[in-house]
A and B are shown apart, each in its own frame.
Chain A
Amino acid sequence: MITGRLSREKPEHYRHVKKPNLGSLRRRFTSLFTGLTFLVLAVTGVLAFLRPFSLSLVGLHALVGFLFIVLVGLHVTNNRRPLKGYLHSRSLWVTLTLTVLIAVVIWQRPAPVRALMGLSANLGPAQERFEMSEGEMVFQYAPDPSYRMQLTIKTGPAYNIATPPRVAIWLENQGAYHIKTLLVPEASAAGTLPYWSFKREGWEKAKREAEEEANIDAVSAATPNGSFDPADYILPADPDNPMPYRLLIEIDQTGDSHGSVEDQASLVYSVEIDNASPQTFQLLDLVGYPQQEEDRDGKEAWALYYVDEGFGSALDLIDSALLTIDRSE
């Protein structure tokens, strides 16, 4: 006769497997919830880096982040005993130092970090900001915490916020070669801004050719006016020997007639920036208007011509353009 309790032994292969201790319902809930919110944060974080700014995406990431903070707090409370053990571990100091170091480096945004941010379709453009209002257009560009540029364009009487003019902002070296576009003009049925477009295409072509020829010096070396890297001009590796560069804007109001002229050409303003003689405030000067012509080889080119009597309201699009460079830390 069989006595005692009915044997409920598990098969052999189960015998040595210990059932995981999932703890109480509260613990299980917290852990799962923390893990899943982390998943949301990870996915939205990667997407926020890769894709242009999206309110839904960044909003989701930020608000779930707050929830994640609460859940992590609960998770820490649930696991305070084992976590306490970490406080006495040597690894604590190593990881703490590493974390602080990473945070400081990212916060300071040195060149490699800026380059990484530049790869982001969201963070890259956020390094530059353009705002347009009725009274002024403000463009901010901070390639470094110690080098913050702001271009404030005070609008003129011909400016209309309802039909704002197209604006391009870019940098050129002393050789009048485009080195970086700071603001791409809004796409328009009227086409692109001709002078900026011509300069940028020339730069892209020259850069491509230099890269094809594997002429490393021409691509990256900080040789006077031979570099394609804007950093060589804005923040030169050798601060004692900076290369002056120019900031230019091209501005155009589509269909702005004047006298017998149906559509006045765009106007180009510029200012030279010389880090050897740093100035905080500099006004941009009117340079001229672009006109298509042929270069020596018979190819299409755009050159600037001094403004003549063919211009009226185009000259009133802006009142003044002030460049401010804050070089303080």
Chain B
Amino acid sequence: MKERTSPTDRRDFLQQSLLGTAGAGIAIASSAHVTAAEIPDAAEPEITQEVDVLVVGGGTAGIIAAIQAGRSGAKTLLIERNAQLGGTTTTGGVAFPGLFDAWGKQVIAGIGWELVKECVELDGGKLPNFAKVPQRHWMNQVHINQFLYALLAEEKCAEAGVQIACYEFPGSLTATGSGWQVDCVGFGTRRRVLCQQIIDCTGGAEVAGMAGFERLHEDERQPGSYLFKLGKPHEPAATQLHRLYVHGADSTNSRTVTEANLTGRKAILAKLRKDKQRLMHLQPETGFRESFRIVGETMITVNDYTSGRLFEDAISNAFYPVDLHTKSGVKPKPLKPGTVPTIPLRALVPKGSRNILVAGRCLSSDRLANSGLRVQASCMGMGQAAGVAAALAAKSGTTPLEVPLAEIRQTLRDHGQIVPGKA
């Protein structure tokens, strides 16, 4: 292993100890302390609450869905199993969302772009010039500071009136006359949520599966990526992390996620011993690419995707090559110039369901189409559309498919999103 900086001698040790103590003292005396609000009945493990929209999964799509639902006036609860929002972007460390543009024009905007843009600007970064032809498809991905992104996501949720519940996940759910009863479990918390609409942004359509709706799952999945940095320090949004493919990675449940994480971290430990380098950065979780996806009211096929089919109920654009990762790597299949795939609302609705939507990579699509649809900007677009549809459905007491499409599209435009086609 490489030597760290010169060994600390007794004098240095004393100096550093003193400075450290003094520094801590100054920090405590100035601004580095805050007080968390008291949680009513915090000692009570069982709580019940009613909301209009429950968003499960505070990742790429879930944040946007929740903020949109909140901004549309719906009482919204966002449940996240981890400690922070952002999912793949923050916990997984894939902090370069894209693609927001295609062929010289922005095709995905709205809340996702607002968040990403603000993150870059606050971080002193630079946004890509969409007029410039990217030499490779990933060049217009926006490099962001993952830590800042998580903070901004929380702030925007709070501003939209979205309640965040971390460390929780649904344990069971039951359909009620007007929606759902969802029993969530966290450590020291059992939360019963009565809601009109659910937006499942778990990545693997876990809630839809729990409700008994049909899902698809491949025997062999695309590898996950465990991100870390050896040797040199990692500067967020400026330097690249190292990547380890975790084959077989599956985000189906806590057991499969644990297995993928342990496998990835074990390999990283072996690598740093072999390379004799310091570990400078380590994400807490594998970035997953594939698990379950729903069978929806319609399914986006790879032909729909590569031909840029304009669905009659298209509510969002998507853009990325067909990008299936395998054991031998990945050979992205770029889309033909001018092609911009679209996402129909029906691909977000589990077949035969009434008050549940999905958003994110678990949308109804065949595997090859999904390999292009799963990327962050597209998931953000789906999240915002699902947020609008769920909020409007809750408001009018109907189902998302019964909300007039024109109303969904107009609301999306009002919130800065680009809606496919001229309708």
Chain A positions within 8 Å of B, measured between CB atoms, are: 174-176, 224, 241, 244, 272, 274, 276, 285-288, 303-306, 308
- From B103, B132, B336, name the one whose CB has the most chain A CB atoms within 10 angstroms: B132
Measured CA separation A224–B133 after assembly (Å):
23
Among candidates B133, B136, B328, B336, residue contacting A174 with C-beta atoms closer than 8 Å: B136
The A interface, classified by DSSP as helix, strand, loop or mixed, is loop
B135 to chain A, nearest CB (A): 4
> Do A175 and B132 touch (CB < 8 A)?
no
Knowing A244-B331, A285-B336, the reply to whether A305 touches B136 (Cβ < 8 A) is no
Residues of B within 8 A of A224 (CB): 329
Does B337 sit at the interface, judged by CB under 8 A? yes
B337 neighbours in A (Cβ, 8 Å): 285-287
Q: List chain A residues, Cβ under 8 A from B136.
A: 174-176
Most-contacted residue by chain B among A272, A274, A276, A306 (CB, 10 A): A306
Pair A304/B133 contact, Cβ less than 8 Å:
yes
B contacts with A, residue count (CB < 8 A) = 13
Q: In whole angstroms, what is the CA distance A109 to B132 when docked?
A: 42
Q: Which of A175, A272, A276, A306 contacts B133 (CB 8 A)?
A: A306
Q: Does B45 contact A (CB under 8 A)?
A: no
Closest partner residue, chain B, to A177 (CB atom): B135
Given A174-B136, A175-B136, A176-B136, answer yes or no on A305-B131 (Cβ-Cβ < 8 Å): yes
Residue with the highest number of chain A CB atoms closer than 10 Å, among B103, B133, B334, B337: B133
A290 and chain B: residue at smallest CB distance = B133
Kindly state whether residue B104 has any CB partner on chain A within 8 Å. yes
Note all chain B residues with C-beta closer than 8 A to A303: 132-133, 135
Q: Which residue of B lies closest to A272 (CB)?
A: B334
Interface pair A287/B133, CB less than 8 Å apart: yes
- A174: nearest chain-B partner, CB-CB: B136
The CA-CA distance from A182 to B334 in the complex, in Å, is 24
* Residue in A closest to B338 when the chains form the complex, CB atoms: A285
- Residue in contact with B132 in the complex, picked from A174, A286, A305, CB distance below 8 Å: A305
Q: Which chain B residues border A287 with CB–CB below 8 Å? A: 133, 337
Segment 205-232 of B: residues with Cβ below 8 Å from A: none
Q: How far is it, in angstroms, between the C-alpha of A154 and the C-alpha of B133 when the chains are bound?
A: 25
Are B133's CB and A305's CB within 8 A? yes
Known: A287-B133, A306-B104. 10 other contacts (CB 8 A): A175-B136, A224-B329, A286-B337, A287-B337, A288-B133, A303-B133, A303-B135, A304-B133, A305-B131, A305-B133
B130 to chain A: closest residue by CB:
A306
A244 CA to B136 CA, complexed, in Å: 13
Task: Return chain B residues, CB-CB under 8 Å to A244.
Answer: 331
What's the minimum C-beta distance from A91 to chain B, rounded to whole angstroms?
53
- In angstroms, Cα B331 to Cα A306, docked, is 25
Using CB atoms, name the residue of chain A closest to B332. A174
> Smallest distance from the beta carbon of A255 to chain B beta carbons, Å?
25
Query: A272 — which chain B residues lie within 8 A by C-beta?
Result: 334
Q: In the complex, are the beta carbons of B103 and A306 less than 8 A apart? A: yes
Residue pairs across A and B with Cβ atoms less than 8 A apart, 18 shown, are A174-B136, A175-B136, A244-B331, A272-B334, A274-B331, A285-B336, A285-B337, A286-B337, A287-B133, A287-B337, A303-B132, A303-B133, A303-B135, A304-B133, A304-B135, A305-B132, A306-B131, A306-B132
Shortest CB distance B398–A (Å): 42
In the assembled complex, how far is the CB of residue B133 from the closest CB belonging to chain A, in whole angstroms?
Answer: 4
Chain B residues within 8 Å of A241, by CB: 328
Q: Which residues B288-347 have CB closer than 8 A to chain A?
A: 328-329, 331, 334, 336-337
Using Cβ atoms and an 8 Å threshold, which residues of chain A touch B331?
Answer: 244, 274, 276
- What separation, in Å, do the CA atoms of A287 and B133 have in the docked complex? 7
User: Which chain A positions have C-beta within 8 A of B135?
Assistant: 176, 303-304
Would you give the shortest CB distance from B304 to chain A, in whole angstroms?
19
Complexed CA–CA distance, A305 and B135 (Å): 10
Residues of A within 8 A of B133 (CB): 287-288, 303-306
- The distance from the CB of B105 to the nearest CB of chain A, in whole angstroms, is 8
